Structure 1
Amino acid sequence: MTILVTGATGNVGSQVVEHLVKRGADVRALVRDPSKAVFPAGVNVVQGDFLDIDSLRNAMSGVSTLFLLNAVVPDEFTQALVALNVARSAGIERIVYVSVIHADIYVNVPHFAGKFGVERMIEQMDFKATILRPAYFIQNDLMIKDAITGYGVYSMPVGDKGLAMIDVRDIAEIAALELLRREQAAQPLPLSRINLVGPDTLTGTDIAAIWSDVLARPISYGGGDTAAFEQNLKQFMPPWMAYDMRLMGERFLTDGMLPEAGDVERLTTLLGRPLRSYRAFASETAAAA
C-alpha cells in the first residue's frame, strides 16, 4: 500500500512527506528533478511531470492513495484533469486533493475557478476523496516582509471583511492525517470537504496591529490599492499570475475569506492541539530576521 505525493518538493508537499514517513507510511514522491529532492530515508523518489503521461503512469502504478497538489500555473486545470484520469486508469480511488476555500464563490479568479472545476470532476468520477479547502496561507506574507520591516506598511489587500489565515505547517499535517485515514480504511471512505482555516479571522488593520506589537513600532495597513498590488507582484512573478492575485485580492476586499461554523473546532480536534496563530508566525518571523 503506497501513498503517492505530488508537489513533493513544495512548501506543503515536502512537509506532507515528512509527516507520512514519521507515521510509518510507504511514500512515493513525484518530482521533476530527483537531484534536487531531499527526503527522509525510505522515500521512493520517481521522476515525472503532470504533462508527461508515461512518467505519470509509471509514478501511479501500484499506488493506493494519491495526494494531488497542483501549482498555480497557466495549465493547472489541464494538469489536474490529466492526473485524475491517469489515477482512475491506475485503479486509484483514494485521493486527498488540495483545492481552496470559497472556490465556488470566487468564480472570476482563475486559479479558484480551476480548482472548483477539479472538485466537480472528482465528484463526477466518483473518487473517494477528501477535498481540502485552505484559506489564505499565512506564509504568503513572507513575500512582503521587507515592506513591513523596512517601510512600516502591511500591503496585502486583506480589507475589513477578514481572512481566516492558516499556517502551512497545519495544512501539511492535516493533509497527512487525511491521507493516512483514507489509506488505512478497510473500504474507501465517502467524499468529504474540509475547510482549512486558522484560529482567528483577521482584517488588514488587525494584522498591522499584530506587527506593530511584535516589532514594537507602528506598522500601518496600506493594502486597499489592488492596482498597486498587481504592479508590485509583477516585479517577481509573471503578469498573468500577478493579475490572478489581484483578482483574488479584490474578492478579499468585497467578500473576505471567512470560516464556517465549527471549522476551527473540527481542525483542533483533528490535530489534537490548537491551530497556529498569525501572531505566532509574526513573532517567529521577527525573531529570525
Structure 2
Amino acid sequence: MTILVTGATGTIGSHMVNVLAEKGYRVKALTRNPHFAHFPEGVEAVKGDLMDAESLLSALEGVDAMYLLTSSDQLENDLNTGAEVVRMAEASGVNKVTLFTLYGEAQLRTPLKKSSMDWTFVQAVGFMSNILDDWREIIIKGDTVETFYGDKKTSMIHEKDISEVMVETLINDKHNHQFYTLTGPELISQIDCLKIIGEQIGKQIPVKEMTEKEARNHWRQKGFDEESIEFFVQMSVETPEVGLHVLPTVREILGKEGRTFEQWAEENKHYFLPEKDGNTNG
C-alpha cells in the first residue's frame, strides 16, 4: 500500500510520515522543496504544491491512499487546497482520502463525497503546538505573555495524537465515510499552560490579560488582516461548544488516552529555553 502524505514537513504530516514508515508502509512525502526535507530511510520525497494542482501529477502516480489537508497548521504558510486536487486524485486511481481540516472548514467535503473514492473527514479544535508560534520567543526573552480570555479552558490536542488518528483512518477501512472531531483529554486554559511551561523550564512566566482593543492591536502588529483578527476574537469570545468539552474520539480510535499538555510541555520544553540551555535540557 502506497500512501501520499501532503504537508509532509508540517507539524502533523511529519509525524504521520514517521509513523507510517515505522509500520512498514510505502510513503510518498509531498513537499515544495524535497532537497531540503529530511525523512526516514525508505520514504520517497516528492515535489508538489497543493496550491498548484498540476504539480501533483507525478506525486499521485501509484498512490493508493492520500492524506490531504486544506490549510496549513503553520501561520507563515499560505495554503488553500482546491477541489481540482480531489479530481486529480480520483483520476490517478487513488482509492482513499483522509481529509484534515481546521474546525468549521468544509470546502472539500462535497467534492470528496461525490467522488468514487472512500473518505474520512477529521477536524480538530486547537493544537498544542500553536503555543510555539504564539509564545516561544516571548518566553525565551523573559517578556510578559499577553493573553486574551486567558482563563478560558478549552480541549486543545497534541499534534502526535492527530497524526496517529490520521494514520489509523488511512490504513483501516472501518473508518471509511466517517466524520471525526478530535479534542485533547482535558480542559486547560492559557494560564494553566503557561504555569506548566514555567514549571518545566524552572521560571515563572509573567502574564498580562489584554482587553479586546489591545488584542486586536496586538494581532494587527503581528501582520494579520482584519478578517483573521475578527475570527480570532470570535473564537476567543464565543469558543465553539465542541472546544469546551472533552470528546472520547482519540481514545475510541487509538485505544489509548490522548496526551496531556503536561506531556507536551515536557517534550517541548527545550524550545522555550535559550539555545545553550535548550541544548542542555532538550
RMSD: 2.8
Stretch moving more, 246-255 or 19-28: 246-255
Structure 2 unaligned runs (5+)? Answer: 274-282
Larger RCO (alpha carbons 8 Å, 6+ apart): 1
Match of 2:62 in 1: 62
Instruction: Indicate the SS of the match to 2:110.
Output: helix
Give per-residue Cα distances to partners, 1:151-199, cap 9 Å, x unaligned.
56443435555321111121112111211114xx7xxx64111112111
Stretch moving more, 218-227 or 89-98: 218-227
Alpha-carbon separation, structure 2, partners of 1:75 and 1:48: 13
Contact 1:139 1:167 in 2 (8 A): yes
- Counterpart of 1:231 (choices 220, 242, 251) is 220
Give per-residue Cα distances to partners, 1:189-213, cap 9 Å, x unaligned.
6411111211122234443444455
Match of 2:279 in 1: none
Match of 1:86 in 2: 88
TM-score, normalising length: structure 2: 0.80
The CA deviation at 1:89 is 1.4
Alpha-carbon separation, structure 1, partners of 2:71 and 2:184: 22
The CA deviation at 1:287 is 5.2
Q: 2:129 aligned with 1:139, yes or no?
A: yes
Aligned length: 264
Match of 2:277 in 1: none
Match of 2:179 in 1: 193
- Identical columns (%): 23
CA distance 1:276–1:152, change in 2 (3 Å): farther
Contact 2:15 2:163 in 1 (8 A): yes
TM-score, normalising length: structure 1: 0.78
Alpha-carbon separation, structure 1, partners of 2:53 and 2:248: 41
Greater helix content: 1
Match of 2:204 in 1: 217
The CA deviation at 1:125 is 3.4
Give per-residue Cα distances to partners, 1:46-66, cap 9 Å, x unaligned.
222234444312211221111
Instruction: Indicate the SS of the match to 1:249.
Output: helix
CA distance 1:41–1:49, change in 2 (3 Å): same
Instruction: Indicate the SS of the match to 2:180.
Output: strand
CA distance 1:33–1:59, change in 2 (3 Å): same
Structure 1 unaligned runs (5+)? Answer: 104-114
Alpha-carbon separation, structure 2, partners of 1:38 and 1:147: 28
